[in-house]
Amino acid sequence: MTFRKTTLLAALLSATAFSAQAADFRFALESDPDVLDPDQSRTFVGRIVYAALCDKLVDITPELELVPQLATEWSWNEDGTQLTMKLREGVTFHDGTPFDAEAVAANIERSQTMEESRRKSEVASITGTEVLGAQEIRIDLAQPDATLLAQFADRAGMMVSPTAAAEAGADFGLNPVCSGPFKFEERVAPDKIVVSFKDPRARRALWALALDYMEIGDGLGDDIQERLLSLGPLKEASDG
């Protein structure tokens, strides 16, 4: 599959280019995402859904530069075995749970210990965490890990509500709760995933200026895309 994040961005920009009014957006995927839980997810197309739902500790630019997202800054100790992160203030998960250092610690523990987690190898170098303040955390490593920040720019760094995760356990993907600009509303597999605009911060991002709802068709190939087209025009369909 050749679909890239920049294609999604271009598609979303096209949805907002001709209207300053809030609108719905319909987007078709090439295949069906698996479980909507960053810790359990395996598929590439799942990442496209997470781009709407979930914030990460670290983001990555098209030039492969690591930049802040939920972590506003970070530093290493001299031997590369301790990573200290300062966290963005004023962020809440979609269920109202605050995003803070305790939430980061809970997410790392979940990635490492949940039986169904597919992130275990990505955070295997982490031996523990220390909450240094409400918005500051230290992550201790067994040995230097040059890949860790890159992992935090992907699913291992996608923060989920620890409250919702504790309540749902392995069924978290049925109603995922993150802190991204869009909130999960429903999934009718394999027809659609519906997310609603929630985060006022995203009004500063061009791609979210005119969106209230986004419907993501998560089907297998042209059949589902044709059904979505029957409901109204698609702004974008991912290719294989």
Q: For residues 46 and 173, give the distance between their C-alpha atoms in angstroms, rounded to a whole number.
A: 11
Distance separating alpha carbons of residues 37 and 59, to the nearest angstrom? 18
Report yes or no: 116 and 55 within 8 Å, Cβ to Cβ: no
Cα–Cα distances in angstroms (integers) from residue 5 to residues 19, 44, 46, 137, 194, in the given order: 23, 11, 12, 29, 19
Residues with Cβ within 8 Å of 113's Cβ and at least 6 positions away in sequence, in order, are: none
Per-residue pLDDT tens digits for 188-209: 887 788 888 875 555 444 344 4
Q: How many CB atoms lie within 10 A of CB 238?
A: 22
pLDDT at 195: 85
Per-residue pLDDT at 2: 39
The pTM of this model reads: 0.79
pLDDT (0 to 100) of residue 216: 63
What domains does the chain contain, in order, with CATH numbers? Answer: 1-38+180-240 (3.40.190), 55-169 (3.90.76.10)
Could you state, in chain order, the average pLDDT of each consecutive group of 10 residues for the chain (240 residues)?
40 41 66 91 88 94 96 98 98 97 99 98 98 99 98 98 98 97 87 77 44 53 47 48
Q: Would you state the pLDDT for residue 212?
A: 56
Q: Residue 198 has what pLDDT?
A: 75
What is the per-residue pLDDT across 138-152, written as a single tens digit (0 to 9) for each?
999 999 999 999 999
Q: CA 78 from chain center: how many Å?
A: 31
